[in-house]
Structure 1
């Protein structure tokens, strides 16, 4: 008789964060631009092209973050295929600290030389120091637990 191997423990940390003002800005601006495009033919192309700004607010206005044996994944709750994934072998260290959007380039998804971020608010943030020397920051509740788990997984070599 073959016995099943002992179950493998799975440790996962998962959180969602929503920015009401970003989502509201996206919805209201999209509605206004669509109305403008419908009633103002000369400015239709401009109004429709500005919908990309509304989409950016909606896409980054609600995020989900996961820490697991697969690494750290952060992405849009609205369009889950828009995400950043950092396998553990790309992470050197994780930490958590209080962060202001102004210190990481502003609100939303930010790209800066050596530092990229997803920032929806001031507050607790998960800071990933990557093996290439750059940093990735995600403002998220309970970032301390996320950092501890990431560091434990790194120490175990998972």
Structure 2
């Protein structure tokens, strides 16, 4: 009896079937749920609620069924498009984008249907109290599950450039990178937070509305500013990567903690976007497309990469430092 084939092609076919089934299943739920119980729903469905819990937006039954399904299918299409020369491993971030999106859309559709069920007019609908919290939890669980089971790329033998350094001579390598768009976004966050703070100080608006705006804008501004620039340094102590205008936080690896170092060209599409990204390629600090310094920490199965200039020289110096340790 011949054993079933379980190689990469077979696993890839199974993954495609699962992916297709998930896309079809989510589409069917989004479009079919309102239509399946349309006899118990009003002609228009409440789809948005004010802060006080009263409905302030609605859609016809057919639109409430087709709009979320259309958003889902457009998201699937957008995440399916990739350049021909993109590394196949880049596809592993796709389920991490689709899983939370599908979970949020399905959860929102279920909440809308339950809120309108048995009502004769959409103004009577009341949103479930825990709907927003449950949607957030559902999206987080879906993202974690997608990350846990996303396909990981096979280990690629790393090219190991080496820099010729005369005995007794010490070298230090520095490189920086910044993203002007992220800096602009951080500045906008600071501006919005400042306006909200002034409005709070002078009582120009309801504090219950302004405090969330101030807190969210400040948090976004700090987070984006922190990861809008990066500096990499290679010295006798190993690799040091610091973030933001204050050079904090910092990640460090000694030469002994690095298994290999190399330079590699990466694009945002490969790692899932800009900033501090986690994907099937490992962790990437992506501030601009192009050359990245990539290391494989010892004892780890994934890489750490940072997009900085002159990455090949930094990798070569790291490999030289590693070689010196092995000969001492």
TM-score normalized with structure 1 length: 0.86
CA distance, structure 2, for counterparts of residue 116 and residue 105 of structure 1: 11
CA distances 1:47-102 after superposition (whole Å, capped 9, x unpaired): 22211111111111121110111111111241223111111111100011110122
Other-structure match for 1:145: 313
Q: Does 1:35 align with 2:176?
A: no
CA distance, structure 2, for counterparts of residue 127 and residue 110 of structure 1: 14
How far has the Cα of 1:37 moved from its partner? 4.0
Contact between 1:96 and 1:124, CA under 8 Å: does it hold in 2? yes
Task: Give the 3 Å change call, closer, same or farther, for CA 49–113 of structure 1 in structure 2.
Answer: farther
Gaps of 5+ in 1: 1-6
Whichever of the two has the greater Rg, that structure is 2
Q: Does 1:64 align with 2:231?
A: yes
CA distance, structure 2, for counterparts of residue 140 and residue 95 of structure 1: 12
CA distances 1:1-56 after superposition (whole Å, capped 9, x unpaired): xxxxxx94221100121211111110112211321343242322212221111111
Aligned length in residues: 152
SS at structure 2 position matched to 1:84: strand
Contact between 1:19 and 1:120, CA under 8 Å: does it hold in 2? yes
* 1:45 aligns with one of 187, 203, 211: 211
Other-structure match for 1:15: 175
CA distance, structure 1, for counterparts of residue 322 and residue 248 of structure 2: 25
CA distance, structure 2, for counterparts of residue 69 and residue 133 of structure 1: 25
SS at structure 1 position matched to 2:188: helix
CA distances 1:98-157 after superposition (whole Å, capped 9, x unpaired): 101222232112245771121111111011111122210100011111111111111111
**Taking CA–CA contacts closer than 8 Å with sequence separation of 6 or more, which of the two structures ends up with the larger relative contact order?**
1
Other-structure match for 1:4: none
- The structure where helix makes up a greater share of residues is 2
Q: Does 1:103 align with 2:270?
A: yes
* 1:79 aligns with one of 241, 246, 262: 246
Task: Give the 3 Å change call, closer, same or farther, for CA 84–113 of structure 1 in structure 2.
Answer: farther
Other-structure match for 1:135: 303
Q: Map 1:116-127 onto structure 2 (within 5 A).
A: 116-127=283-294
Deviates more, 1:97-106 or 1:20-29: 97-106
CA distance, structure 1, for counterparts of residue 301 and residue 258 of structure 2: 9
- The structure where strand makes up a greater share of residues is 1
CA distance, structure 2, for counterparts of residue 148 and residue 109 of structure 1: 24
